Amino acid sequence: MFLKVIQLGWKNVWRNPMRSAVVIIAVLLGTWAGIFLSGFFAGMAQGYLNNQFKLTVGHIEIVHPQFKDLYSPEYYIPNSDDVIRELSQLSYVQNISTESVTTGLAQSAHSNYGVTMHGIHADSNNAIADYIKEGTMPGQSDKRNPVLIGQKLAERLDIEIGSRMVLSFQDKNGEITGGAFRVAGIFDSFSDPYDEGNVFIGLENMNELLGLTNQVHNIQLELADFSQASQYASQLQNEYPNLQIQTWGKIAPELQYMYDMTDLMMYIVMVIIIIALIFSIINTMLMAVLERTRELGMLRAVGMNKPRVFSMIVSETLFLTMVGAPVGMLLSWITISYFGNVGIDLSAFSAGLSAYGFGTVIYPSLPNIYYLNITLMIAAAALLSALYPAWKSLQLNPVEAIRKFN
Amino acid sequence: MAVIETTGLTKVYNADQVPVHALRGVDLTIEKGEFTAVVGPSGSGKTTLLNIISGLDEPTEGRTIVQGTDLSTLSDRQLIDFRLHHIGFVFQAYNLIPVLTAIENVAFVMQMQGRPQKECNETSRALLEEVGLADKINKRPSELSGGQQQRVAVARALSSKPDFVLADEPTANLDSVSSGELLDMMLELNEKEDMTFVFSTHDQRVIDRARRVVTLVDGKIDKDELRE
Ligand SMILES: Nc1ncnc2c1ncn2[C@@H]1O[C@H](COP(=O)(O)OP(=O)(O)OP(=O)(O)O)[C@@H](O)[C@H]1O
Ligand SMILES: [Mg+2]
């Protein structure tokens, strides 16, 4: 019998097919746009984070506790070989990259610029390899003293592959040192400032000049799940109390902030869309109730009680929502999956984006938990927008409604 | 026991502004099987009286007893249930749910009563046959003429097995042929099933067919004639 009331609700949805279709499509598009936009922003933010993780921070970074103060070469990681071997045993560590680091000056015949110098192993799987535009990594070059520099720096110093340049910096004792290098490769990453301010040379090359042997200053860990970084970092900190172990969020609070903000942004976008949907649903249902005053009066007169009338109107609203929302969700899941693979190429705007460190291709992505949360939000919104028209339908007085018959 | 018994019914609308005395003391007793027309000039209180008898509206004073139940003792909720089980309604228009077929409309009240689906279907089909719409059971109201719609409404009113059927101007929107047919059908049900009908009307031809004619003037019973 309750089923009959709900069946009647379903049939009522189709008494004005055009109007219902408009609402259903609005819900569908709203759901789709909301979720897809969320996925787009999330993918954009995630892409940005991944870029930053790859080149600048890593998920967890291990340094000598005093290294970060002045980047003095003397503060290398003691027994780094042992530490690296132990770390590579850990199941949650996916990749380890190491380097010795210092800051100094890059000079060409034409100009000079302050840079960060990275000494990397010949067999290192450093992420910069992915961004090489011309030439090779320093480890693969047959030149003496090869260096890999960014496109921006090459322009600034007005040099190209094969050109000579001089890098000067302080060694571990604070003495000025340096050497002549030959450009073996040029990289072009997602970020112009990074390309301008970073150069890569062989670890042996660098350590020789710094007065070190095979020590490194910096170990970066890539985890299977970056959001777990703080938990693992504190575990590691207990095991290596003499090293400074920090998560990406600590090292780059702006990234943590961005990560938190995208979450919030996505929900704000969803809430705005849902509020718009609530209003359009309420508006439609109020119309549907008001134009049926006489019929509702008749139903109440012949013995349909208030809970049943209420349920009927609620079910009508829920049907309106529940057709569009799942289809919209499915559509957004399909489009996010598709573009998550193919990517959305924004190269038309890429000049602007890469100045801020964003990639030129956005891969939308949305963790499953968001689909669940959005489902719950839409269900709550549907219920909310169902209650008011249903309540309104109970306010009518059957006697008044029936008098309008005549 | 009388099916309907009212004593001293009065109804005053807008008591606090300009009061309208719609009923001024109506004592009316209707026995089982009667076929009663309530007539009178416009504004004489016919609709008000029928609404009070059916428990849709409350009298200002007086009592209505339906099959031994004093309606004033029932809560709103009990009144709805009482109407569902004891009273069949036929209105002037808008009787039917437009999205349901004829048979679904007839079955709807029975479904609200919680009767088994099988009984609902069989009874509804039989009733539609009885009112001469055997070939229209799957038509929507919009596919039926006004007279056919009113017949579906009568079938619906009977489906709940009520104590009596109340009809406020059931023929007002019909042409004279359809009015005549509807009245024939109601009379037939009255005779065959001994169903009690109380209806209001302005139509002299309808009045002529009634067995009992109660005339209201200014909210009072002016005449109460039995005919044969
Ligand atoms: N809700 C109301 N508020 C105020 N006055 C009302 C209300 N309902 C009815 N009336 C008045 O009560 C009186 C009786 O009305 P009622 O509808 O019962 O008459 P009726 O005999 O059914 O008339 P008709 O033949 O036109 O249907 C009329 O004067 C009417 O204007
Ligand atoms: Mg009337």
Q: What is the pLDDT of residue B42?
A: 93
Q: What is the pLDDT of residue A357?
A: 64
Residue from B62, B140, B69 nearest B105 by CA: B140
| Count of Cβ atoms closer than 10 Å to residue B178 Cβ | 18
Residues of A in contact with B47 (CB under 8 A): 403, 406
Q: Could you say which residues of chain A have pLDDT below 50?
A: none
How far, in Å, is the centroid of ligand 1 from the Cα of B49? 10
Interface of B with A in 164-193 (CB under 8 A): 168-169, 172
Cβ–Cβ gap B94/A302 under 8 Å:
no
Q: Which of B11, B14, B20 has most ligand 1 atoms within 8 Å of its beta carbon, as the pocket-test mutant?
A: B20
Q: What is the pLDDT of residue A32?
A: 92
Give yes or no for residue B73 CB within 6 A of ligand 1: no
* Interacting residues of A90 by C-beta distance below 8 A, sequence separation 6+: none
pLDDT mean over B126-152: 94
Distance CA A168, CA A6 (A): 80
Distance CA B162, CA B87 (A): 5
Task: Identify the closest residue of chain A to B106 by CA–CA distance.
Answer: A302
pLDDT mean over B136-142: 95
- Name the residue among B47, B56, B94 with its Cβ closest to that of A294: B94
Of A75-89, A259-273, B164-178, B196-210, the least confident: A259-273
Cβ of residue A15 closer than 8 Å to a chain B Cβ: yes
Cβ of residue B56 closer than 8 Å to a chain A Cβ: yes
Q: Please, are residues B170 and B90 in contact by the beta-carbon 8 Å criterion?
A: yes
Q: Please, are residues A32 and A335 in contact by the beta-carbon 8 Å criterion?
A: yes
How far, in Å, is the centroid of ligand 1 from the Cα of B3? 25
Q: Please, are residues A301 and B94 in contact by the beta-carbon 8 Å criterion?
A: no
With tokens 């340094």, the residue in question is: A63
> Coil, strand or helix: which one is A396?
coil
Give yes or no for residue B45 CB within 6 A of ligand 1: yes
> Coil, strand or helix: which one is B109?
helix
Phi, psi of B212 (to 5 degrees): -135, 135
Phi, psi of A3 (to 5 degrees): -60, -40
Cβ of residue A306 closer than 8 Å to a chain B Cβ: yes
Give yes or no for residue B147 CB within 6 A of ligand 1: no
A137-189 pLDDT tens trace? 998 888 889 999 999 999 999 999 999 999 999 998 989 999 999 999 999 98
- Name the residue among A14, A303, A406 with its Cβ closest to that of B83: A303
Q: Show the DSSP H helices in chain B as ranges.
A: 46-53, 76-86, 102-112, 117-130, 146-159, 176-193, 204-209
Cβ of residue A294 closer than 8 Å to a chain B Cβ: yes
B27-54 pLDDT tens trace? 999 999 999 999 999 999 999 999 999 9
b/e B101-128 (16+ beta carbons within 10 angstroms → b): bbbbbbbbbbbbbebeeeebbebbbebb
Task: Give me the CATH code for the B2-226 domain, please.
Answer: 3.40.50.300
With tokens 């190491």, the residue in question is: A98
Distance CA B191, CA B214 (A): 20
What are the residue boundaries of the structural domains of chain A, listed by start?
2-53+256-404, 58-251
Strands B196-200 and B164-168: parallel
Q: Please, are residues A284 and A12 in contact by the beta-carbon 8 Å criterion?
A: no
With tokens 């709805």, the residue in question is: B80
Q: What is the pLDDT of residue A354?
A: 62
Give yes or no for residue B101 CB within 6 A of ligand 1: no
* Interacting residues of B11 by C-beta distance below 8 A, sequence separation 6+: B21, B22, B23, B45, B48, B52, B57, B59, B60, B219
A16-62 pLDDT tens trace? 899 899 989 988 998 899 899 889 988 888 888 888 888 888 899 99
Terminal alpha carbon distance of chain B: 23
DSSP A176: E
Q: What is the pLDDT of residue A351?
A: 63
Q: What is the pLDDT of residue A355?
A: 62
Distance CA A86, CA A266 (A): 40
Of A103-112, A267-276, B113-122, B151-160, the least confident: A267-276
List the single best residue of B90, B94, B159, B161 to mutate versus A (max A Cβ within 10 A): B94
Question: Which helix (H) or strand (E) element contains residue A231?
Answer: helix A229-239
Q: Please, are residues A347 and A48 in contact by the beta-carbon 8 Å criterion?
A: no
Give yes or no for residue B12 CB within 6 A of ligand 1: no
